[in-house]
Amino acid sequence: MTAASARQTMVERHLRARGLRDERVLAAMGSVAREAFLPPDLEAVAYDDRPLPIAGGQTISQPYIVALMTEALALRPHERALEIGTGSGYAAAILGRVAKEVDTVERIEELAASAAEKLAEQGFTNVRVHHADGTLGWPGGAPYDAIIVAAGGPELPRALLDQLAVGGRLVMPVGDGRDQQLVRVTRVDEADYRREDLGAVRFVPLIGAQGWADPDDPVKRAPRGTIPRRTGGPLVAPSPATRASTVARLIAECAVPIAAIDSAPLDGLIDRIGDARVVLLGEATHGTSEFYRMRAKITQELVLRHGFTAIAVEADWPDAAAIDRYIRPGRPTARPWAPFARFPTWMWRNTETAELVEWLRAYNAEARGAVSFSGLDLYSMYTSAYEVVRYLDRVDPTAAQVARERYGRLTPWQHDPAAYGKAALVDRMRSCERDVVAMLRELLAKRLDYAAQDGDEFFDASQNARVVAGAENYYRAMYYGSVESWNLRDQHMFDTIARLLSHRGPDTKLIVWEHNSHVGDAAATEMAVRGEHNVGHLCRKAFGDDAYIVGFGTDHGTVAAASQWDDPMEIMRVRPARSDSYERLCHDSAVRAFLLHLREPVREVLREELVEPRLERAIGVIYRPQTELQSHYFQAVLPEQFDEYIWFDETEAVHALAPLPDRGELRGGHPLLL
Ligand code: SAH
């Protein structure tokens, strides 16, 4: 497809079909080369209707929003416009086509310079770029017939209101937080302004004298299972309701209804996925009973009918190892501490998991099977270090002493490992990177000696040493940003899967339980735009069709989650899904629970309808219903993210077991039911 025809498709599908009518704006959108304003590697997606990253951590707005805002300015050909937030220069170019003259102001010098260059290259002689704080407007050019602000501020800057001509229009996102209202203000006369709300949007912050303060790089820990959000750019605007009902009907036609989990018609699914090497089972929240029960049911079928012998979950390695010891005959059971005692305890300390654990234990005992249970995550820096020392105490006391010293250097941050990452960056002398890497290397170098005594025990210890090294790296990476740390964590989880497969033997078939955000292919979501990968994506790359990804979703009900990291678990109400989400389409199908096959040969019409990007909801261990849009929704192409989607319209919270005191004694017996 040529750029011109891609542009025309964009105008028809994303702009005209969504109600934009100003022919001059549509003509401008159809004629300006968006790719010319993007980094070269994003050219291929230039006409997708989504915001994209540009330099300086900023975003080029989604075409629909640029068109919507420009239309709202109601510019006539002889009028003059001011834009605040030049960014890539793309919106300024559009303005340049509909107004006589444009001044555009950008606070990041690098962006201002590159936008000016690109505008010149594209032949715009009526657009002038200025490097300045745009919250103060551009007094030299005032008054303006129209002012557009492409970043969200706490309120309407006084300077901009002053620089508006009588009869002029100002369009700007206003709101405290990352969610804003798009506001249009018309200056009725010298002293009088009329204000209208145009809907919810999401933009990067307007930073300046009459905007937000310049943040000194706050870095937050991304809660487990939630998707770190991009810094801004408006999210997709609602898609028209009319199409939605047709898609919902199509879903109803293609879906296989589930009356009850115990009697779920799984034959088709199990046949389809039985030959896979790795089956990835997702979840849309970390606290929904139905997701656990359905995954347990599928897991049992795969074990019984297709020879799957390994389960790996989104839990810490040493915690899951305690379960593994409990379910596999002949492995020493007790550990001197209790697994899953730390936040978020309900993720694995729940009756749903406990039932599966009992089933696995009985299966392993009766069938002399050896289904293993492992943890993929890397949050157990200290417990893992402790386990390595304990192991070396048994097999090599001299090495144990070295391990104590090296790992001991991490102990000052035991209660706040994230603070370690910062300390290690600020003061390199405090970095333990060399210690933890040396520890791992030396352990692996003695593989032959150690493993000769007990291969499984050595594998466990070496994995713990890898977790320490991985976690040390992870906590340092957190201070470079969420993309780096997210990628390290998912790479670690994928590497663990690969090591499990090779440790358990070439024919091993593995089942993975992790949040949708880890197992759903990141390439099909906005994560890819931020440069993030994940376990699902890495598995598809490594195993091709031998990786089978099952996503899960829900509309409403209750969920176990916390309001903040380390807060107590609450049973919260899940809000009904937004009208512009995949969840809403599933809800509108009126089928209460179903399986939806998405991999070839799926009905082509269904696929065609579903490949249009929509919002999808992800609830992790934190749920913030008040800010649901920016905290929990992200853009995705569902049929590319998953091979199969399992839906439960109404769901209930997972049944948590009473929390344990941290580091409680493990006295043998069931590791969850102490
Ligand atoms: N219109 C742009 C989108 C830009 S995103 C496009 O089409 O690409 C918002 C931009 O506003 C960012 O580049 C950001 O650096 C800029 N910005 C934020 N605060 C600003 C301020 N006070 N003055 C000028 N620009 C600002």
Q: What pLDDT score was predicted for residue 241? A: 53
Least confident range from 51-60, 114-123, 273-282: namely 51-60
Mean pLDDT, rounded, for 646-673: 71
Residue 431 has pLDDT above 50, yes or no: yes
Question: Residues 65, 71, 75, 76: is their CA dihedral positive or negative?
Answer: positive
- For the entire predicted model, the pTM comes to 0.64
Distance 83 CA to ligand 1 centre (A): 9
Residue 75 has pLDDT above 50, yes or no: yes
Residue 635 has pLDDT above 50, yes or no: yes
Phi, psi (deg, nearest 5) at residue 476: -75, -40
Least confident range from 44-48, 136-140, 580-584: namely 44-48
Q: 358-367, pLDDT tens digit by residue?
A: 999 999 999 8
Residue 331 has pLDDT above 90, yes or no: no
Mean pLDDT, rounded, for 109-126: 94
Q: Side-chain half-sphere of 448: how many Cα atoms within 13 Å?
A: 1
Distance 88 CA to ligand 1 centre (A): 9
Distance 600 CA to ligand 1 centre (A): 43
The β-bridge partners of 622 are: 562
Phi, psi (deg, nearest 5) at residue 235: -80, 175
- Grade residue 215 by pLDDT with cuts at 50, 70 and 90: low
Q: 142-199, pLDDT tens digit by residue?
A: 999 999 999 999 889 988 999 999 999 999 999 876 678 899 999 998 888 898 888 8
Residue nearest to atom 18 of ligand 1 (CA): 206
Would residue 341 be called left, alpha or beta, if left means φ above 0 and alpha means ψ between -120 and 50 degrees? alpha
Mutate to test the pocket of ligand 1, among 104, 107, 109 (most ligand atoms within 8 A of CB): 107
Q: In the annotation, is 61 catalytic?
A: yes
User: Which atom of ligand 1 has the smallest separation from the CA of 37?
Assistant: 8
Distance 57 CA to ligand 1 centre (A): 11
Residues with CB under 6 A from ligand 1: 58-61, 84-85, 87-88, 90-91, 105-108, 111, 133-135, 150-151, 204, 206-208, 211
Least confident range from 111-115, 511-515, 526-530: namely 526-530
- Which member of 5, 31, 61, 114 is catalytic? 61
Structure-token match 């209804």, residue found: 257
User: Which atom of ligand 1 has the smallest separation from the CA of 210?
Assistant: 22
Q: What pLDDT score was predicted for residue 50? A: 83
| 171 within 8 A of 69, measured Cβ to Cβ | yes
User: Which atom of ligand 1 has the smallest separation from the CA of 134?
Assistant: 23
The β-bridge partners of 571 are: 560
Structure-token match 């347990």, residue found: 296
Q: Side-chain half-sphere of 490: how many Cα atoms within 13 Å?
A: 29
Residue nearest to atom 17 of ligand 1 (CA): 85
Q: What pLDDT score was predicted for residue 285? A: 98
Q: What pLDDT score was predicted for residue 230? A: 31
Mean pLDDT, rounded, for 51-78: 90
Structure-token match 């620089």, residue found: 163
Residue nearest to atom 23 of ligand 1 (CA): 134
Cis omega before residue 576 (within 30°)? no
Mean pLDDT, rounded, for 322-338: 77
Burial of 520 (0-12, 13-18, 19+ CB in 10 A): buried
Token pair in block for residue 621? 């261990």
Mutate to test the pocket of ligand 1, among 86, 122, 163, 212 (most ligand atoms within 8 A of CB): 86
- Grade residue 667 by pLDDT with cuts at 50, 70 and 90: very low
Q: Tell me the C-alpha distance between 327 and 368, whole Å.
A: 11
Helix crossing, 381-395 with 397-408: angle to 10°? 160
Distance 38 CA to ligand 1 centre (A): 15
Q: What pLDDT score was predicted for residue 669? A: 47
Mutate to test the pocket of ligand 1, among 35, 95, 106, 182 (most ligand atoms within 8 A of CB): 106
Q: What pLDDT score was predicted for residue 227? A: 32
DSSP H helical ranges for 505-627: 516-519, 526-529, 535-543, 582-588, 604-610
Mean pLDDT, rounded, for 501-506: 92
Average of per-residue pLDDT values in the chain: 89
Residue 258 has pLDDT above 90, yes or no: yes
Structure-token match 């929390």, residue found: 659
Q: What pLDDT score was predicted for residue 355? A: 96
Q: What pLDDT score was predicted for residue 58? A: 84
Mean pLDDT, rounded, for 649-669: 71
Token pair in block for residue 32? 């300006």
Distance 189 CA to ligand 1 centre (A): 29
Q: 4-31, pLDDT tens digit by residue?
A: 999 999 999 889 988 899 999 999 999 9
